[in-house]
Chains A and B, each alone.
Chain A
Amino acid sequence: MKLPRIPGGPTLGLVLLGLALAVSLLQVLRNDRTYSYPGKKVIRILHWQLEAGFREAIGLAINEFESLHPDVKIEQMAVTETVYDTLLNTNLISGNAPDLAELGKGKFGSNDEYTVRYFLPLAQVIAQPNPFNKGTPFEDTPWKETFIDGMRGGYRQQLLDYYAVPVTLFNTRFFYNKQMYKEVTGTDVPPQTFGALIEAGRKVRAWGEARGETITPIVNCYKPSTWTLEWLQIPFTSRFESAVDLDLDGLVTAVETYAGLVTGDWNMRSPEVVAFFDTVGRMRPLYEPGFMGMDRQTAMQRFATGKAMILTTGSWDSSSIARSCEGKFDVGVFRAPVPSAQDPNGQYVRGTATEATAVGGAAFGVYKNSPNQDVAIRFLQYLTSRGRNADIMEMASWPPIIAGSVPSPAMRPFIPNPTGYSAKLNFEMTNNVTTVYNSQLDKYLPGENTYEQFANSYEAALRNPRGGGDEVWAREYDTQMKGTRNQERLLAVQAMQVLSNPQDSAAETKYRQSLIQQVRSNNAQYLRYLFEKVRKQPIPEI
């Protein structure tokens, strides 16, 4: 079929092309104008924290900082998680990255080999006092030491340096409907023990039924197995530490957990282990049917509409929760409770889990090629100064990260509590063992199988000569040997720095830190030696 001829075709084409070019040019100029402030140093800060309150908090900090520095303009770029990786990676490759970018997501912001290429190592900067702490007790304290977590949240173990500055502490809490809770239980005091939590759950169900409503005691933003096990596993299994922590470093690894099973220090019939999983099972009546598949949005919606009394999630959701419940009910916060001595299984509880190891979140890296690195660093110093960090994070309803910060009464429940224990049996290992553990747990939690079935399957998987604990051990040995080899590369790179710049004492210090880490690992041969000692046979080859 012959297409009709368009009158003035070629001319029309030229006109359309010209129009397209003009529109593009206008867009470019507009963008340029957006980021061009004559006479000002402009920095951009990129993050993915779209939770209610955080953008406002950063906006507050920006306003304050700009008023102190009239020659500075800061642009906040908050983007959704789904495009964050692509945006950051593309801009890094093109050499046009924001001056500050939240790290921990995406290849270039997470993988060490890219982080070291694009972001500034901060060890030397953070060793100096934060100038915004002048006049406070931290006036002469290295910036790093003013953080509750010692700035661990920004540390890269493999690079032996700090690459990001965290601005808050994340932790997990129970958020509850205060009015509903008071009406149901007759008290303002949130559950202090596991037994009180179960009882409150029972009461709210009955209360709902009396009103012809279905009220779920607890909904979870994240997978219940992660949440429930997290806060109960240490209280119940910490007692095994003295038997299974073979190298006495205060941590119980997957290998040590398996070794303890082999040597008879524990098994799935140990009273503490049975008690732990039994307690986890006692949570079932607190959830609604199909709770394993509930997503975050649904959980938050259930809570905000009064269909659930308690919501478990992280402190990063606190502002969003407050906003979604505004005008409907007050929201309280409490820490996950453990069984008391009077509760079922309480006699096996050693204590709560410590939160002293909490690490900072929302950590920002400084782009290596930023033309205004000094301003970018200064802004981070302002964000994390003793006088302002708590107030700025308060706007996001997030806890402060700077030591000595005086949190508001509303933020106190989020401050990490160092009371408690740290070690636990490490049931989740790798490969087939983890697959069996998780799949069996996913059936056990909603009551689709019994503990006996769960325990039998898991222990069988562990003891399986193929794909079981022996393989977990062998894989860990292989991983550590490869780690030693990777560390050798880092040492070589650092040695080159030392040879090229003999006066650089920082390079020498880093070299020694890498050296001692590698030397102490003995090329992973401790794992081989331990296997031969415990299993009385050579370690399998992977």
Chain B
Amino acid sequence: MLYPHSSALLRIVLASSNLLLLASSALRADAAELTQTLEQATSLVAVQDLREAAILFDRVRSQTERGSATWDQATFGTALCAQHATPITRSGIDRAVERFEELLEASPNGKYSPRAMLNLGRIKELSDFYRDPIDLPGARAMYERVIATYPDEPICGEAVIRVAGTYVQTFEPEQVRQGIKVLEDWLANHPDEPLASVMWQYIGDSYFEPLKEYGKSVQAYEQVDRLGWVERGNQGPVYWRIAQVADRYLNDRDIAVKYYTKIIQETPTSGKAYESQRALERLGAPVPPIGLFEAFNTPAGAEPTGSTPDGVAPEPSAPAMPVPSAEGSRP
């Protein structure tokens, strides 16, 4: 034997390698388990089972390194659950604040930090429980901090909306104008803002009430119409508002006709399609049929017979109802 201790050394090296291999396997298994736990917790959040989700998030949090991506997600999760698990309590909100702040301190540039900062603003703005005071200036400051800290993050758009909201919800005219300005300035400087439709609709609402600047309100809503309605299918009430404002206050026949027509063609189940037909008739505009109910389409302009009010027209005698056979019959 050339090196009397070489075999022992070899055995030590081999043993160490095996131990290292075992340790890394264990770590990989742990990491996989943590990932799975996080996924489980996230799934529970999706069905609003926040108490169970909090337990899982806490478990992951306690087993991961502070500031790691996994820790960030788990910490954000525990904060979210504390903020929203019912019943909402002062201690739950305090715990949420603590965790959000801890996250911001440990991972200021982490994936969840912009949302954590915004959520601190939401806590200030909303009344979370009975007699929880609302702090609009405090909320505004937090939203502005989001914009200043994360200027390139998509969340900035929402933060801008929230800033505007802290002004608009006072319903004091000068404050409302300030809120509108925040939105309009942002839109002017961010033509590709993903939340532009939301912003324009909020601007339209705010000009409508309390400012009653109907012309500007309609202009804002027209922007929404150009961009596309976020609540597609539910824009019927807004169409009605636009049509009524144009018809009754602005004397803007073109806009009124446009939106009465849209009600009939795009939102026939809004309940205002028939009244829109009548309005178009009055305005001397073409009157589209209400497409979904062809079986009962009375051409607009046709006077109901028998001097009856709208919609009362003699119908032919309905045939007797069929009596179903005892056995189902195939067509």
A residues sitting closer than 8 Å to B (CB atoms) are 52-53, 56-57, 59-60, 63-64, 113, 116-117, 148-150, 152, 178, 188-190, 192-193, 235, 242, 247-251, 318-319, 321-323, 326, 330-335, 337-342, 346, 349-352, 354, 356-357, 391, 394-397, 403-404, 407-410, 412-413, 415-422, 481, 484-485, 488-489, 492-493, 495-497, 499-500, 512-513, 515-517, 519-520, 522-523, 525-526, 528-529
Contacts and interface: CB of A to CB of B under 8 A. Distances in A.
Contacts of A235: 309
Interface stretch (B4-12, B17-25, B287-295): B287-295
Given A330-B320, A356-B269, 6 more contacts: A192-B306, A350-B309, A357-B269, A410-B322, A418-B273, A485-B128
Contacts, number: 259
A56 B324 contact: yes
Contacts of B248: 242
Interface string B45-57: 1111100000000
B169 A338 contact: no
Nearest to A368: B47
A489 B48 contact: yes
B175 to A, nearest CB: 11
B205 interface: yes
B192 to A, nearest CB: 15
A520 B323 contact: no
Contact of B320 (A332, A417, A485, A488): A332
B309 A416 contact: no
A136 B310 CA distance: 34
Contact of B312 (A192, A319, A416): A192
A419 B324 contact: no
Closest 8 CB pairs of A and B: A351-B310, A422-B271, A352-B311, A330-B320, A529-B171, A249-B237, A419-B311, A60-B328
B295 A250 contact: no
Interface in B74-93: 76-77, 80, 83-84, 88
A512 B195 contact: yes
Given A52-B324, A330-B320, A512-B195, A493 B48 contact: yes
Interface string B214-248: 00000000000000001101001110110011001
Contacts of A346: 309
Given A395-B328, A410-B319, A415 B295 contact: yes
A333 B315 CA distance: 11
B155 to A, nearest CB: 9
B135 to A, nearest CB: 13
Nearest to A347: B309
Contacts of A357: 269-271
B295 A492 contact: no
B324 A397 contact: yes
Interface string B287-331: 000111111101000000011111111111111111110011111
A424 B330 CA distance: 45
A7 B22 CA distance: 68
15 contacts: A192-B313, A249-B238, A331-B321, A334-B315, A337-B312, A351-B310, A404-B294, A410-B320, A415-B293, A418-B273, A485-B127, A489-B84, A519-B161, A520-B205, A523-B125
A407 B318 CA distance: 13
A9 B330 CA distance: 60
A188 B292 CA distance: 29
B312 A526 contact: no
B308 A485 contact: no
B307 A342 contact: yes
Contacts of B80: 492, 496
Contacts of A189: 314-317
A92 to B, nearest CB: 13
B71 to A, nearest CB: 15
B296 A418 contact: yes
Given A340-B308, A520-B205, A499 B111 contact: yes
Contacts of B240: 248-250
A418 B170 contact: no
Contact of A420 (B274, B295, B324): B274
B318 A412 contact: yes
Nearest to A525: B169
B198 interface: yes
B320 A331 contact: yes
Interface in B122-145: 122, 125-128, 134
Given A357-B270, A419-B298, A116 B318 contact: no
Contacts of B294: 404
Given A148-B293, A525-B169, A512 B198 contact: yes
Contact of B274 (A149, A335, A418): A418
Contact of A395 (B202, B309, B324): B324
Contact of A60 (B230, B231, B271, B329): B329
B296 A519 contact: no
A516 B195 CA distance: 10
| Residue among A57, A352, A408 with max Cβ neighbours from chain B (10 Å) | A352
Contact of A499 (B112, B202, B320): B112
Contacts of B195: 512, 515
B314 A192 contact: yes
Nearest to A357: B271
A68 B315 CA distance: 40
A409 B316 CA distance: 11
A323 B319 contact: no
B321 A322 contact: yes
A521 to B, nearest CB: 9
B268 A522 contact: no
Nearest to B115: A495
A60 B330 contact: yes
A499 B322 CA distance: 56
B293 A512 contact: no
Contacts of B88: 485
A515 B46 contact: no
A496 B54 CA distance: 13
Contacts of B272: 250, 422
Interface in B36-80: 42, 45-49, 76-77, 80
A60 B48 CA distance: 39
B319 A409 contact: yes
A422 B201 contact: no
Nearest to B322: A410
A488 B230 contact: no
A397 B324 CA distance: 8
Contacts of B49: 117
B209 interface: yes
Contacts of A64: 330-331
Contacts of A152: 269
B165 A492 contact: no
Contacts of B134: 523
Contact of A250 (B47, B165, B270, B319): B270
B310 A413 contact: no
A127 B290 CA distance: 23
Contact of B307 (A331, A341, A499): A341
A279 B211 CA distance: 41
B210 interface: yes
A409 B318 contact: yes
B83 A492 contact: yes
B120 to A, nearest CB: 13
Nearest to A121: B46
